[in-house]
Each structure stands twice: as C-alpha cells, then as structure tokens.
Structure 1
Amino acid sequence: MFDAAELGQRVSQREFKERELELRTKLLTLQYRTNELARFPVLIDFAGVEGAGKATAINMLNMWMDPRWIRTIGYQRPTHLEAARPRFWRYWRDMPPKGRIGLYLSGRYSEPLLGRVYGEIDEREFDNRLSEIIRFENALVDDGALILKFWMHLGATQQEARLRELEADPLLSYQVTQEDWNNHEHYDDFIAAAERLITRTNRGAASWHIVEGGNENYRHLRVGEIIAAELARHLDAQERTAAAASDPVRVASPDMPKVDTVFDALDLTRSVPKSEYKKEIKTGQARLGELGRKAQAMEQSTVLVFEGPDASGKGGAIRRTVWSLDARTYRVFQFAAPTEEERAHHYLWRFWRHLPRAGHVSVFDRSWYGRVLVERAEGFASEDEWRRAYNEINDFEHQIVDHGILLLKFWLHIDEDEQLKRFKKREKSLYKHWKLTDEDWRNRELWQAYKQYGQDIIQYTSTKKAPWILVEAKNKQYARLKVLQTVIDHLQERLG
C-alpha cells in the first residue's frame, strides 16, 4: 500500500515558488466561497509516521489561507474532563461550524492505532474502534461535511534519517521524543496496523490520501492541491443543492388517519391519592438525595431524557426528580428551535456538548428526538435526514451507555382531551400562561401525526441498551412518582 509513497519525489525550490502562488490564490478563493455559502464544515485530519511532516503541513495551510476561519487542534492524552465523557465527546466539541475549517493532528485515529501497535487492544477491538470512527464520519458526511484524511508517509530508513536530522538541529531537537523512537522500533507493526486502518476507513465520502513526506516542497504542494481539488468539487455540489433547495413547509397533515400505537395500550386511568403521593414523594426524594451523593462520590454520571406531548407534565416531573439533588451536580437543559450557532453544526452537536462530567446529572427537557418529531413534521429535516437519524440516535445513545453513563429515557403520555383541558387551564393561570404559545395550539392540530411519529421513535430507538420508559401521565402525581421511583431503582442497581 505504501510503496508508491517511497519513490523519492522532489520539487525544486524554484518550481515550488511558481506553483505556490497559484495554489495559495486558489485555496483562498475556495475558502472564501466556503465561508460565504456556510453549508458545510471541512475536517482535515493528518496522521502518519513520525517525522513525515504532519505539523509543518498544518502550519503551511495556516499560512496559505485566512487563519480567522481555521481552527487547528492537536490532541494529546484525554484530560480528566475528557475521560469522564464518551470517547467522541471531545471530537464533537471541537467540530468546526459550517463554513469553517478544522485541522486535526493526532485525532480520532491515533489512539486505536497506537493501541493496536503496542498490543493494548486486540484485532477485534481495533475493528470495533474503526467501526465507531466510520459511524462518526458517516453522520457528518451525510449532513454535508467534507472530510479529508492525509497519511504522511516515510519508509523506515527515511524515517530514521529524518529523526536523526531533527535531533542534530538544536532548534528542532525538541520535536523528537523517546516515544518517536519507540514507534520507529515498531515500524513494521505500525505499518501493518496502518494498512488495516486505511483499508477499513477509506470511503468515498471520507477518503484517505497517502502523501510521500520525504521532500517538504513536494508534500506541501501535494496536500494543498488535493485540498483545492476536493474543496472545489464539494463546493460545486453544495451550491447546486443550495440553489435547488426551497423553504421548508409543514409535512405532517391534520388529516393523518388514526392508527393503533403503543400509547393506546397505556392505562391512563392510573392514579395515586394525594395523601399517599405527599408521603411517597418525600420518601423518594430523600432516597434519591442519598443516591445522588453516592453517585457523585463514585463518579457515576446520569442522563435523563424527557419527551412527550405538550403539557404532558415533563417540567413538573423533572422538578420533583431533581429536588433533593445537590444543585451543583445537575443541570436541566431545555431545547427549542436551534440557535444560529447550533444550526451551523450537525444537529447532535448541541447535545453532545452537554453530556455530564463524572458524577453529575444532565437532564434533557426535549432532546435529540426533535429531529424525528418537530423537524420531521415541519419539514426542517428532509425525509432522508430524519430516516437516517434513527441510526444516528441509536449510535449516540449506545456510546453514552457503553461509557458507563446511566441513560434513562421517559416518554410522558396523555390523551388529546387531557391536553386540551391543561391548555385551557394554563390560559387562566397567572404563572403558567407564558408556557402556552400559538405553536402549541398549532401542533395540537397534528395530534395524530405526532402520535404516529412517537410510535416510530419507540419502535426504532427503544433498544436493549437504551429502552424507553413509558409513563402514564394523565394523573400528574402518579407520573411524578413513577419517574422518581424509576430513577431510584436504576441508580440503586447501578451503584450496587
């Protein structure tokens, strides 16, 4: 695989100067078009053998293009803050917005590659980690992102000569570490793992480009010319798509036929007497407070998700659940229409960034399911977008669970008559009328559509790792106790 990158290709300084001016002009023009269109982010990853010029290639790109719209990120071992979240949290956190470029060094491929070289992970785990990367890249590419990946290569003899050259230069010797020499000693293992890595993850939408790194002039021009060609192609495609796009229109219909759903099997008559409720809510809150303190001490994180029809009691259930938790250890996030900053990223970005630190709790009042509910109904997400979102959501939730975070998803359900009753009550309330909006009344017209979309959510995303918990919420006291007791039961089991 790497023989073609060990040919000793060179570019003279004179030729470099002649080609550089044209290339730099082209890159700047393309960068400005990308920023103006603002339809997709650009992720450029650099990997390869030590001494092959990854860092200098990044420096040259920063010099050639406008650095205001470029962010360069070099990853090291995860910090305590990063290690407390799923592996891909820091890569989602560092995602460039649409129209911007991210340059990445020692990114998502570095850890599994070195882990395989040094025997810290076996071949099966290595493939699992690569599959995880593929799913990450597919989600971004499907959303329009341009991903370019460069493998900067040197043969074993070239690498040794390069490391000794750097070591002999007093100004550059700091760049060579004992780890670099250790990697050189494992060169054959390194290349074998790299071949597997590139073969598995080299896909049309996120392809690898192997660049010979022996001659600085050659590798800089090669990297720049590939970026220019791929960026021009991607811009042309995205501009055609933008020209053909129309304003979103409501897709759901008030005339949607009634169909049987999982919600029809719920017994909404379930209730709890007020006297019993007052007693059990205090006992439950006290118990959850104890478990919350223990979870913090054991660094057990929790994510609670609340979905359901408008006025189904999500806010009330959340307030009673977090009542006895230390306010410093939990945060409640309410999501409505995305902000301008959030629209400039993949729709999952705003949820990834709010995953809790070790021992803390994140509560999501509305969540990533908006993609397959309101965005589906309003036409803000195309059919292709909301259909693939089920798999993207499942992958996101499985990463949360696999990291050891306790994930509980609650769907609070009421019937159509109860919703109307609560809407009218809110209209007359001095402190609740603000919660009722024209949009709520508008969405109510689509009751059957949202009910069917909810059925699809349960069907496609209630997995063994992240099942949905359906809550009969017509009686608020019953719903609040069920939510509270469910959190207690799962947290108690998790903490042993």
Structure 2
Amino acid sequence: MLDKVMMERKEVRKDYDERLAHLEIRMGELQRQCRSMGIPIVIVFEGFSASGKGTMIGRMIRPLDPRGFQVFTMEKETKEDKRHPYLWRYATKMPAKGRIHIFDHSWYQGFPDILQADEICRYEKQFTDDGVVLIKFFLAITKKEQKKRLNHLAGSEDTSWRVKEKDWKNNENYDKCFSQFDTMLVQTDTANAPWTIVEAMDKKFAVDKILTTIVNGLEQAVEKNQKKGNPETDSKSEDTDAYLQNSVLKGVDLTLSLTPEEYKKKKKDLQKRMEKLHNQMYLQRVPVVLAFEGWDAGGKGGAIKRITQCMDARGYEVVPIASPNDIEKAHHYLWRFWNHFPKDGHMAIFDRTWYGRVLVERVEGFATEEEWKRAYQEINDMEAHLVKSGTIVLKFWMHIDKDEQEKRFKQRMETPEKQWKITDEDWRNRDKWD
C-alpha cells in the first residue's frame, strides 16, 4: 500500500480555511449526535517516527467537547502493562457508548512479534461488530523529511526530549521500517476497519484529509444508526440445543461420588498441594484464571471456598459476576472481564463468567441471536490470547440434574443460615431448565 502513496502530495485547496471551519463545526455536531445515539468511537494513529502523530491529534481534537473524548499515549508499556496479557492495556481502555477514545500508537506495536495479522483483524472485528466506529490513520513521510524533522526537534531545548535513540535508528533503517509497515497495512486493511494513509509531508494537507475522513466516517455511522431497526432477540437455536442435550451434558455420569472419609482425606491432601502450587505460581510469575459456570445450586461457591481456604489471600481475587451495571452495559460485554484478568503471579477466580453471553443473556433475550452466535468465536479468541500470553486458564462446569437442584433449593429454604442463597429468580430460572 505504501509504495502507491504519493508522499510528496502537498496540494491544498484554495478554500482551505473556509473548508476547515466547516469541518470543525461538523465534527462538533457529529460528536454530539454520536453521544446521544450511544455510538462509541476509536481513532488510531500510527506512522513513521516524526510523522506528526501528536500534532495531528492535537489539531483534530480542537473542535471536540473535551468531556467526551480521551487521548491515550501507548508507545511505552508500564510495569503494570508488562505484567498482564498484551491486549489488556488496550481492551481495558476501549470506550463506553457515546465516547471517543484516541490512541497515539496502538495494538499495532505488537505486530508481528506478539500479534499476527489475523489476531489483530479478529480483535478489531469484535468491536466493530458491536457498533464501535474504528478509524485508523497511518501517517507517511519520506526518509529525507523524517531526518529533517528529527534534526529540528533535537536542535531545540523545548523538543529535544522527544527524540530518542530508536528514532534515529528508525531513520537509518527507514527501508526496513517501510517494508514492515507496508506488510502490516496490507494484511490488516479490512472492510470493517480500513486504513487511511495520510501523506503527512504538508501539515495543512494532512489535517484536511484526517478531518474529512473522520467526518465521513461519523456521518456514515449516524446514518446507519438512524436506519437500524429493532434487532431480533430470538434466542432459540434448536440445532445447538439438541447438540448440547444429546452429547456433552447427557454423557456426564452423575452417579460418581466419594465417601465422607475419602472426601476428607483427598481434600486435605489436595489443599496442601494447592498451597505449594500457589506459592510456586507467584515465584515463577505465572498468572492463573479459574472460571466456574454451571447450574444454580451446582456448587460453584462451595468449590471456590474450599480452593481459597489454603491460599494466601493477597495472591488471588474472587470475582463474583452478577448482572452488568450501567457502566459495564455501556462497554463491549468482554470489557468487564478484561478489567479483572490477573497480572503475572496472581490468580483470578470467576464465579460465573463471560459465558453468560451465550447462556443467561441468550436464554433471557438480552443478546440478539447475531450477538450470541458470534460470541463463541470472540470468547475463543480472548481465551487463546490469554493462554498465548502465558496465563493458565482452567474452566469448570458444575453439573447436576434437575431433581438434585430441586433438592438443594429446598435444603436452602429449610436451613436458616443458607436461606440467603435462594431467591425467586432461582425458581424462575428453573422453569427454563430445558
């Protein structure tokens, strides 16, 4: 893509000032419209060193209400970032509905050593499928212009701090950078998240192209939102239901049991091992995610309690997942889970999980059929990234039959110290067992 770009393009329209004023007014209008419609916007800036990313970001935000946007400078990883999966620092910064988040450098810093092109494309598709407007800019300049700008920055006391050793190396290795950037652009230029290459030799030309692209993108998003009807919330999929009922869960042997003596001994031995493993996990900086799902009264809470009894409470977090609050609802459904994924050496234990998207949200109709069907791939991609980053992910389905659930419900109702565990919603959910 870069080899087809006319780097030296500098032509500026004669009515530039008038046109710019119109674009700025329109951007302010579109920001307000997107906010009222709940449209989240992500704008990514990548490019050669000294291509003007910071300058362009500063120019594009002028007409925007500062209460509605946030700029993230992502070039340098913090110590906390390095202790989490690579995408953690980006996934936790994705915008709520109606907000604009601007990234000065982005997940593309991980290409190709950490993230492959197909991983990036699927990651971006998660958000665009969910209604995020993703606008990506790549600022291009020549090697000669880059060196000129670096010399200018380095020659001023006010800006010399901005020039690092790697910037000079990037100029020396311009052709190599050019080739890698070109590969990145070609492989991640998709219909849902296309690249806009900005010929950034001339500031006015670059500003015009960037503002025009943003205005066009937001106008299309507003028009699409206005035409959007009520999505189908039919959550029934007979083929999937039949598969689950006739293969996976039907094959579980619910007659397996231990005697009280066997259970007591096994629990004692395993808790001792767990204590040692928890210490080793911390010393070797291995992050662990335990995910518990299952029927109401399936024993998730009891299992979690027995696991944590033998561990140092400073090294784990139990994350009970209930209905999302207003802030969580305003984000992509996986956002609230990314915020709880552990740093290295720590453990996160989820009492219910991201699988709610294809379970309760599907059954109750909170997610459309299109949403819960694509969630399977989104969940697989997220878990694959966790594992690739070194996280141990263990998932447990706590299975009981309908008769056992009723028995446990009644026991809870008859036991004063357990009555808090049973609610009207539990009985209502039971009616939807099948």
- Choose the corresponding residue for 2:163, options 176, 183, 190: 176
1:346 lines up with 2:326 in the alignment: no
CA distance in structure 1 between the aligned counterparts of 2:428 and 2:313, rounded to whole angstroms: 35
Per-residue CA deviations over 1:19-78 (Å, capped at 9, x if unaligned) read 22211110011001111111x321111111122211111111222211111110111332
How much does 1:247 deviate?
Answer: 8.9
CA distance in structure 2 between the aligned counterparts of 1:81 and 1:90, rounded to whole angstroms: 9
Amino acid at match of 2:108: Y
- Aligned pairs for 1:34-113 within 5 A: 34-38=34-38, 40-112=39-111
How much does 1:425 deviate?
Answer: 1.5
CA distance in structure 1 between the aligned counterparts of 2:82 and 2:407, rounded to whole angstroms: 47
> What residue in structure 2 maps to residue 293 of structure 1?
279
- Indicate if the aligned counterparts of 2:233 and 2:369 stay in contact, CA closer than 8 A: no
How much does 1:211 deviate?
Answer: 0.8
> What residue in structure 2 maps to residue 150 of structure 1?
137
Please report the TM-score for the alignment, with normalisation by the length of structure 1.
Answer: 0.82
> What residue in structure 1 maps to residue 23 of structure 2?
23
Amino acid at match of 1:88: L
> What residue in structure 1 maps to residue 221 of structure 2?
234
> What residue in structure 2 maps to residue 405 of structure 1?
391
Amino acid at match of 1:245: N
1:245 lines up with 2:230 in the alignment: yes
Per-residue CA deviations over 1:197-247 (Å, capped at 9, x if unaligned) read 111100111010011111112211210111011011011112322xx2169
Gap runs ≥5 in structure 2: none
1:221 lines up with 2:208 in the alignment: yes
- Percent of aligned positions with the same letter in both sequences? 38
> What residue in structure 2 maps to residue 6 of structure 1?
7
SS at match of 2:111: helix
Per-residue CA deviations over 1:395-446 (Å, capped at 9, x if unaligned) read 1111111111111111111111010111111122222222222221111112
Amino acid at match of 2:81: E
CA distance in structure 1 between the aligned counterparts of 2:191 and 2:16, rounded to whole angstroms: 30
1:191 lines up with 2:178 in the alignment: yes
> What residue in structure 1 maps to residue 127 of structure 2?
140
- Indicate if the aligned counterparts of 1:150 and 1:210 stay in contact, CA closer than 8 A: yes
How much does 1:296 deviate?
Answer: 1.1
The alpha-carbon distance between structure 1 residues 263 and 111, as it changes in their structure 2 partners (threshold 3 A), is: closer
1:391 lines up with 2:349 in the alignment: no
1:359 lines up with 2:358 in the alignment: no
CA distance in structure 1 between the aligned counterparts of 2:429 and 2:81, rounded to whole angstroms: 39
Gap runs ≥5 in structure 1: 114-120, 449-496
How much does 1:6 deviate?
Answer: 1.6
Per-residue CA deviations over 1:452-474 (Å, capped at 9, x if unaligned) read xxxxxxxxxxxxxxxxxxxxxxx
CA distance in structure 2 between the aligned counterparts of 1:81 and 1:165, rounded to whole angstroms: 34
1:166 lines up with 2:153 in the alignment: yes
Aligned residues: 430
How much does 1:159 deviate?
Answer: 1.9
How much does 1:107 deviate?
Answer: 1.1
1:374 lines up with 2:373 in the alignment: no
- Choose the corresponding residue for 1:208, options 195, 216, 220: 195
How much does 1:374 deviate?
Answer: 0.8
CA distance in structure 2 between the aligned counterparts of 1:111 and 1:376, rounded to whole angstroms: 34
Amino acid at match of 1:292: H
- Indicate if the aligned counterparts of 1:305 and 1:408 stay in contact, CA closer than 8 A: yes
1:303 lines up with 2:289 in the alignment: yes
Higher alpha-carbon deviation: 57-66 or 411-420: 57-66
CA distance in structure 2 between the aligned counterparts of 1:81 and 1:331, rounded to whole angstroms: 17
CA distance in structure 2 between the aligned counterparts of 1:267 and 1:178, rounded to whole angstroms: 63
> What residue in structure 2 maps to residue 483 of structure 1?
none
CA distance in structure 2 between the aligned counterparts of 1:160 and 1:406, rounded to whole angstroms: 45
The alpha-carbon distance between structure 1 residues 77 and 52, as it changes in their structure 2 partners (threshold 3 A), is: closer
How much does 1:248 deviate?
Answer: 5.2
- Indicate if the aligned counterparts of 2:235 and 2:368 stay in contact, CA closer than 8 A: no
SS at match of 1:109: helix
CA distance in structure 2 between the aligned counterparts of 1:446 and 1:142, rounded to whole angstroms: 29
1:336 lines up with 2:322 in the alignment: yes
Per-residue CA deviations over 1:60-107 (Å, capped at 9, x if unaligned) read 122221111111011133223212221111110111111111111121
- Choose the corresponding residue for 2:400, options 396, 414, 418: 414
- Indicate if the aligned counterparts of 2:231 and 2:368 stay in contact, CA closer than 8 A: no
Give the aligned CA root-mean-square deviation in angstroms. 2.1
- Indicate if the aligned counterparts of 1:252 and 1:377 stay in contact, CA closer than 8 A: no
SS at match of 1:91: helix
- Choose the corresponding residue for 1:266, options 227, 252, 259: 252
How much does 1:16 deviate?
Answer: 3.8
How much does 1:275 deviate?
Answer: 2.5
SS at match of 2:398: strand
CA distance in structure 1 between the aligned counterparts of 2:382 and 2:235, rounded to whole angstroms: 27
CA distance in structure 2 between the aligned counterparts of 1:235 and 1:137, rounded to whole angstroms: 20
CA distance in structure 2 between the aligned counterparts of 1:366 and 1:175, rounded to whole angstroms: 46
CA distance in structure 2 between the aligned counterparts of 1:182 and 1:210, rounded to whole angstroms: 23
Amino acid at match of 1:181: W
- Indicate if the aligned counterparts of 1:5 and 1:211 stay in contact, CA closer than 8 A: no
- Indicate if the aligned counterparts of 1:69 and 1:100 stay in contact, CA closer than 8 A: yes
SS at match of 1:447: coil
CA distance in structure 2 between the aligned counterparts of 1:156 and 1:333, rounded to whole angstroms: 51
How much does 1:251 deviate?
Answer: 5.1
> What residue in structure 1 maps to residue 422 of structure 2?
436
How much does 1:259 deviate?
Answer: 4.5
Per-residue CA deviations over 1:335-393 (Å, capped at 9, x if unaligned) read 12111111111111111111111111100111010011111111111111111111111
SS at match of 1:390: helix
Amino acid at match of 1:439: E
- Aligned pairs for 1:416-495 within 5 A: 416-448=402-434
CA distance in structure 2 between the aligned counterparts of 1:382 and 1:247, rounded to whole angstroms: 6
CA distance in structure 1 between the aligned counterparts of 2:353 and 2:8, rounded to whole angstroms: 52
CA distance in structure 2 between the aligned counterparts of 1:259 and 1:95, rounded to whole angstroms: 37
CA distance in structure 2 between the aligned counterparts of 1:259 and 1:324, rounded to whole angstroms: 36
SS at match of 2:107: coil
CA distance in structure 1 between the aligned counterparts of 2:124 and 2:89, rounded to whole angstroms: 14
CA distance in structure 1 between the aligned counterparts of 2:110 and 2:255, rounded to whole angstroms: 53
CA distance in structure 1 between the aligned counterparts of 2:170 and 2:237, rounded to whole angstroms: 57
SS at match of 2:95: coil
How much does 1:252 deviate?
Answer: 8.3
